Amino acid sequence: MKNKWASTGCLIVLVIGMFFTSTRSLYAAENRPIIDGSYLTHDNESIGYDTKITRGEDLLTGYSKCVVMGPGKLYAGGTTIAAHTVQSVQVAVTIERAQEGDTTWEIYDGWHKESLNTDRVGSNRSLDVEGGYYYRARSTHAANSDVSSSFTNGIYVEEP
């Protein structure tokens, strides 16, 4: 009889615990501004990971990164990692900017880097940028003929 009361008590505690954890307030994603899949944030850093476009055996992963270094200063880049040593591994990085209320990103800067007979390549830069904009890094990743892309959320850079 004691086991039945103990089991019933545990069940009641479990149900009450589930009720309180399931009634937390959640914020709808639609309340935050978004342009082309990137949320506009006031975070200091954003990292975006690749989405596979082709199915291959050479490309393992890739990512883009964007960091606010201070007013008018941005550090951004991308990295591509192959599953093994390949003939060519590449990353093409595009820096885009937008203001709240815009519907598209505009290209601000870009560059490309290729490494031969290796399994990874990365390319990063520090940029002096105009304040008052959201910036994001968008990268195209390639290992031989396998391709994917990644992008970050938009991060706000203040005026210097």
In a domain, 79, yes or no: yes
Q: What is the pLDDT of residues 85-118, one digit of tens each?
A: 999 999 999 999 999 899 999 999 999 999 999 9
In a domain, 1, yes or no: no
Count structural domains, the chain.
1
In a domain, 70, yes or no: yes
In a domain, 123, yes or no: yes
Nearest to 105, CA basis, from 51, 40, 31: 40
Q: CA-CA-CA-CA torsion for 148, 92, 43, 74, nearest 10 degrees?
A: 170
* Structural domain boundaries, residue 117: 34-157
In a domain, 6, yes or no: no
Q: Is-above-0.85 flag for pTM?
A: no
> Residue 134: which residues within 8 A CB-CB, separation 6 or more?
40, 41, 97, 98, 99, 100, 154, 155, 156, 157
CA 129/CA 107 separation, integer angstroms: 12
Q: Provide the residue-wise pLDDT of the chain in tens; the chain has 160 residues.
A: 556 665 565 556 555 555 555 444 444 545 889 999 999 999 999 999 997 766 689 999 999 999 999 999 999 999 999 999 999 999 999 999 999 899 999 999 999 999 999 999 999 999 999 999 999 999 999 999 999 999 999 999 999 8
In a domain, 5, yes or no: no
In a domain, 15, yes or no: no
CA 76/CA 40 separation, integer angstroms: 16
Answer for the pair 159, 125: CB distance below 8 angstroms, yes or no: no
Answer for the pair 91, 143: CB distance below 8 angstroms, yes or no: no
Strand partners, 61: 81
In a domain, 69, yes or no: yes
CA 160/CA 121 separation, integer angstroms: 32
Supply the CATH number for residue 71's domain.
2.60.40
In 3-state terms, what secondary structure has residue 16? helix
Residue 145 to residues 88, 90, 140, 153, 158, Cα–Cα distance (Å): 9, 10, 12, 27, 39
CA 58/CA 13 separation, integer angstroms: 51
